[in-house]
Amino acid sequence: MSMGFLRIQNLTKRFGEVTAVDRVDLEIRAGEFFTLLGPSGCGKTTTLRMVGGLEKPDDGEIHMAERCLVSPAKGVFVKPERRDMGMVFQSYALWPHMTVFENVAYPLKLRRVRRAEMRERTRAALELVGLGGFEERPATALSGGQQQRVALARALVFSPGVLLLDEPLSNLDARLREEMRRELKALQRRVKVTVLFVTHDQMEALSMSDRVGIMNRGRLEQVGAPEDVYYQPATAFARDFLGKVFALAGKIVETNGEECRVELKDLAAPPMCVRAHRIGESPWATGKEVMVAIRPEQISLAKSAGDCKGNVLPVTLQASQFLGDRYEYTVAVGAESRVLTAPASQPLKPGQQIYLELDPAAITLWPTAQ
Amino acid sequence: MAGPRIPALGARLRSWRGSLNGGVILMAVLIGVMGFYVIYPLVLILINSFNTATIAEPPVYGLQAWRDAFSEPGIWRSLWNSVRVGVTLQIVALPLGIFISWLLARTNIFGARVFELFFWISFIMPTIATTFGWMLLLDPNTGLVNTSIRGLPLIGGLTFDIYSFWGIIWAHAVSNGISTKVMLMTPAFRRMDSSLEEASRMSGASTWTTMWRITVPMMTPVIIVTLLLSVIRIFSSFETELLLGVPWGFYVYSTKIVDLARQEPPLVNQAAALGSIILVFLAAVIPLQRRLITRRQFTTVTGHFKPRIVDLGAWRYPATLFVALVVFILDFVPILSVLGGSFMTRFGFFHLPKTWTIEYWKMALGDPRLTNALENTIIVAVSAALIGAVLFSLIGYVIVRTKLPGRSILDSICWLPSAIPGVLSGLGLLWLFLGTPIFRPFYGTIFLIIVAYILGGITLSTQIFKANFIQLGNELEEASRMSGAGFWRTYWTVVLPLMAQTMVMVGVIKFMFAAQHASSIILLATSETRTLILLALDQVFSGHREVASITVVFIMTLTLGVALIARSFGLKVGIRAE
């Protein structure tokens, strides 16, 4: 497959004073499941809508295959109905005056597909989303999950080049959302359609995507495979948005090509060792104030220091709560309290001295300002 | 004999009083008064259609009135004319209204909000102002448009005669026909979730295809409600037909009734027979109207509101121009024409040595008839506004907030008046006041006019109050009851102050209604109790157009002025389809 099936270059959109999308560059491969992840107002939906042609950019270009879809500089704008893209809206946007069949057949009708073929393809699309036999129901008489599937069938029925998904799971309840997440991914594998997915839920983004782009304040901050962006966040925003962070302040006391040592502030612990590939690109000099960060689930708890490999941090256990599948521990790190979770296998008593093990390969290093 | 039963009965009475705190009495009084007020006049019409004696004479029952009425072809023709005018008007105005609402709410035409304000102004503007304004322009002999055309080549032979069927349609369309629909439909169009249209675009449909296949069908419920609300009032229209139809012998239902009742000797019983026919129509229409208004619509609104609109591209300019032209015809033309009429020596005669004059204004302001009518109008409108606001807030409150038995009866009574043509309720009240000895002294007083105007606004007022009470939430009142205040104390100290804004709004609506509607009082007023609108009609009929212009300017100022002031205070004076 060629690189850059969908190419976005320098894409910019302003709403009055606000720059909603700020010089975004992005290449999405054919057949890829690509997710734009970010908080509300970060510009991800606006980016998606510009790809779909529902919003006009102020600057930049979008190409699909080798076709230019929009370029204000060249005066090119392809209308949404000419872009050959399917889209699922957050509200599903099913037309209440049509049946399920009519909703799904609508794109084919507009393409003047012959009646028999239209019937066949519509039925196939509904089968694909598991709604065979629902053809004659009014679209709004279905449950949220079913409406979602109809919207998906409508977006896929004409075999579009790209499928745009605008937070399609956010209106579903938690259990249904999980189920749809798995189904959507399986469906995409089967149909092999290129997907541009927009969400504010990092769980959805990490679990479904081939690659994730993290957006903040109109800027694309980091693009990469889910594991990469999670464990090696490029920016403080990506680090904090993707999951919980266990961070400690300190000062670099020693550095060489392979690793560096950080003495923790106000804590009676041996200096932390950080592996070179976790250090990032900032020029780290001895004596610099820094922050060490690690995902809390990468910390293991031990009753004695001897059980630990790598960095060891002695803490006092203040409280523990049983959550069913795991325990939640409140520990005193110096003068501060932190919350960690651990598997339910090791009951620990409050008041007891315990040890946190931090893998040098899992720790990342950050400037103190962040 | 009944000894053992007395204590039991006493206990039962006590428990009634205890649990219902006089609520039943209140309800009985309300139903009694409203029933007498709303239904009894209609019953009188029905009874008296079988009476051959005239009002205030001992009744002689017989079928003579019905026989007379229907042996005259004019009666049937007037009914048919009402239907014809109503249906033709809807065929013209509904598609236009849909299209304009779509342009205003869903596309990027310039100045949509400003245009919407002008449609609102057109909606508020009294029918007599638009009709009269266009009369000055389209009179076949003296109308400004017609005299101007005469000098032109090619189309010089054309005359647009407003005294015609199409003239009446035109006057209706420009006065309320279009603006009512735009007022009702634009907010509904605007609230539609735009992703429904976007989904259509993404499916491959163009802007126009999307409008025809998605937007308009989605709006069908609102469009049907809008249409039926107009159809229900088909027999109510009066002023336009009076001004434009009667001069050439074209009668509709309401003008025919007035004509019969005003003949010498008055044929009130025939008028009653004609009135009774419509009671049958009303019996079918009122439940329909009630269902339409209270029924839930398609839920087209989603949680997050996206005010995204259609980019018309190059069509943006002609579309804006089109709406601007409509607004010009609806608002500016009648206002300028009426003002011009009042300041010109002869309207439309620009070549006279003295084209402009303030003579008519001097004359009018010194004329006791005008000052008298102005005084009457203000007394009537203010009284109707005050009494209406207080009375209907109580009714709305009782219907929404209490669990008293009989609420649905009271509610049903309040639904009646809006569908009753004003002329008919006027006729009923005429009988009530002349035929009931204790009320007879009130005939000829201004009190009668006030009573008629309050009656006309019952439905709208109670609906507004009901909607607001439902929105208000129960807790505020319950907190008052828990603090120890009784029903009436809570009503006066909590409910009324909270409803102050709504009360003002209902007051404003009633004031405007009273200042511009002639149909419900035309049979009740005398030369002493004549209001501005009746004076204006009389002046037009006697051919004093320049003086009539001045009266119309007064009516316009009163209604539009009050509405604009209310609007500047944030009151949403108007109507809604939902």
Measured between CA atoms, the residue of chain B closest to residue A112 is B204
Rounded percentage of chain A residues whose pLDDT exceeds 90: 42
CB A193 within 8 A of CB A162: yes
Rounded percentage of chain B residues whose pLDDT exceeds 90: 29
The token pair that represents B362 in the structure block: 């001097």
What pLDDT does residue B296 have?
A: 44
**B200 close to A (CB below 8 A):** yes
Q: For residue B225, which amino acid is it?
A: V
**B191 close to A (CB below 8 A):** no
What pLDDT does residue B556 have?
A: 92
Which 8-state DSSP code applies to residue B79? H
**A189 close to B (CB below 8 A):** no
Name the residue among B203, B204, B302 with its Cβ closest to that of A91. Answer: B302
**A75 close to B (CB below 8 A):** no
Mean pLDDT across B352-366: 85
**Hey, are the CB atoms on B199 and A97 less than 8 Å from each other?**
no
Using a CB-CB distance cutoff of 8 angstroms, which residues of chain B are in contact with residue A111?
204
Q: Residue B315 CB: number of other CB atoms within 10 A?
A: 17
The token pair that represents B62 in the structure block: 């017989």
The token pair that represents A163 in the structure block: 């499928």
Using a CB-CB distance cutoff of 8 angstroms, which residues of chain A are in contact with residue B304?
90-91
The pLDDT mean for chain A works out to 88
Q: Which fold has domain B377-571?
A: MetI-like fold (1.10.3720)
**B379 close to A (CB below 8 A):** no
Q: B198: which residues sit within 8 A by CB, 6+ positions away?
A: A52, A54, A80, A87, A89, A93, B308
pLDDT of B224 strictly over 50:
yes
* CATH architecture assigned to B77-340: Orthogonal Bundle (1.10)
Q: A54: which residues sit within 8 A by CB, 6+ positions away?
A: A80, B198, B201, B202, B308
**Closest Cα of chain A to B297: distance in Å?**
11
**A78 close to B (CB below 8 A):** no
* CA–CA separation, B196 and B201 (whole Å): 9
The token pair that represents A291 in the structure block: 């922050």
* CA–CA separation, A125 and A105 (whole Å): 9
pLDDT of B20 strictly over 70:
no
Which 8-state DSSP code applies to residue B59? P
* CA–CA separation, A325 and B225 (whole Å): 57
CB B528 within 8 A of CB B249: no
**Closest Cα of chain A to B180: distance in Å?**
25
* Sign of torsion over alpha carbons B380, B382, B383, B389: positive
Interface of B with A in 243-262 (CB under 8 A): none
What pLDDT does residue B127 have?
A: 92
Q: Which runs of E-coded beta strand occur in A16-117?
A: 18-28, 33-37, 59-64, 67-71, 76-77, 85-88
Using a CB-CB distance cutoff of 8 angstroms, which residues of chain B are in contact with residue A87?
198-199, 202
> Which residue, among A87, A50, A81, has the nearest Cα to A193 in the 3D structure?
A87
* Sign of torsion over alpha carbons B526, B527, B533, B534: positive
Out of A153-157, B49-53, B499-503, give the one with best mean pLDDT. Answer: A153-157
What pLDDT does residue A49 have?
A: 93
- Give the tens place of pLDDT for each residue, A241-289: 998 888 888 888 888 777 788 888 888 778 888 876 555 566 677 888 8
pLDDT of B297 strictly over 50:
no
CB B434 within 8 A of CB B440: yes
Q: What's phi and psi for B131, nearest 5 deg? A: -60, -50
* CA–CA separation, B431 and B427 (whole Å): 6
pLDDT of B15 strictly over 50:
no
**Hey, are the CB atoms on B200 and A54 less than 8 Å from each other?**
no
What pLDDT does residue B55 have?
A: 67
User: How far is the CA of B240 from the CAs of A50, B119, B173, B174, B566, in angstroms?
Assistant: 52, 19, 11, 11, 27
Measured between CA atoms, the residue of chain B closest to residue A153 is B203
What pLDDT does residue A308 have?
A: 65
A244-367 sits in which CATH class?
A: mainly beta
What pLDDT does residue B86 have?
A: 94
* CA–CA separation, A133 and B61 (whole Å): 67
* CA–CA separation, A253 and A337 (whole Å): 26
Could you give the residue range(s) of every CATH 1.10.3720.10 domain in chain B? 77-340, 377-571
**Closest Cα of chain B to A2: distance in Å?**
25
End-to-end alpha carbon distance in chain A: 40
Q: What's phi and psi for B373, nearest 5 deg? A: -65, -40
Q: Point out which residues pair with A163 in neighbouring strands.
A: A86, A195
Rounded percentage of chain B residues whose pLDDT exceeds 70: 91
**Cα A281 from chain centroid (whole Å):** 24
Q: What's the pTM?
A: 0.80
Name the residue among B204, B298, B299 with its Cβ closest to that of A81. Answer: B204
Q: What share of chain B is helix, strand, coil (3-state, %, to 5)?
A: 75, 0, 25
> Which residue, among B530, B498, B505, has the nearest Cα to B385 in the 3D structure?
B505
Q: What is the dihedral of CA B491, B492, B498, B500, to 10 degrees?
A: 120
Out of A26-30, A95-99, B287-291, B495-499, give the one with best mean pLDDT. Answer: A26-30
* CA–CA separation, A94 and B317 (whole Å): 32
**Hey, are the CB atoms on A155 and B202 less than 8 Å from each other?**
yes
> Which residue, among A91, A92, A157, has the nearest Cα to A126 in the 3D structure?
A157
Using a CB-CB distance cutoff of 8 angstroms, which residues of chain A are in contact with residue B302?
91
- Give the tens place of pLDDT for each residue, A219-236: 999 999 999 999 888 888
CB B160 within 8 A of CB B145: yes
Interface of A with B in 128-167 (CB under 8 A): 140, 151, 154-155, 158, 164
Task: Out of 2.40.30.40, 1.20.120.160, 3.40.50.300, 3.40.50.880, select the CATH number for domain A6-237.
Answer: 3.40.50.300
Cβ-based burial of B96 (10 A; exposed 0-12, middle 13-18, buried ≥19): middle
E strand or H helix at B355 = none
**B159 close to A (CB below 8 A):** no
**Closest Cα of chain A to B72: distance in Å?**
48
Measured between CA atoms, the residue of chain B closest to residue A106 is B203
**A20 close to B (CB below 8 A):** no
**What is the length of chain A?**
370
CB A129 within 8 A of CB B225: no
**Closest Cα of chain B to A178: distance in Å?**
22
**Hey, are the CB atoms on A91 and B193 less than 8 Å from each other?**
yes
* CA–CA separation, A235 and B296 (whole Å): 50
Give all strands of the β-sheet with A364-367 in edge-to-edge order: A272-275, A259-264, A246-255, A289-294, A364-367
**Hey, are the CB atoms on B203 and A95 less than 8 Å from each other?**
no
Confidence of residue B101 (pLDDT cuts 50, 70, 90): very high
The token pair that represents A233 in the structure block: 């966040």
**Hey, are the CB atoms on A110 and B300 less than 8 Å from each other?**
no
Name the residue among B202, B303, B308 with its Cβ closest to that of A52. Answer: B202
**Hey, are the CB atoms on B220 and A97 less than 8 Å from each other?**
yes
Q: For residue B493, which amino acid is it?
A: T
Q: Where are the domains of chain A?
A: 6-237, 244-367
CB B66 within 8 A of CB B49: yes
**Closest Cα of chain A to B111: distance in Å?**
18
Higher-scoring residue by pLDDT: A300, A59: A59
User: How far is the CA of A367 from the CAs of A246, A251, A362, in angstroms?
Assistant: 15, 10, 17
Name the residue among B202, B218, B220 with its Cβ closest to that of A87. Answer: B202
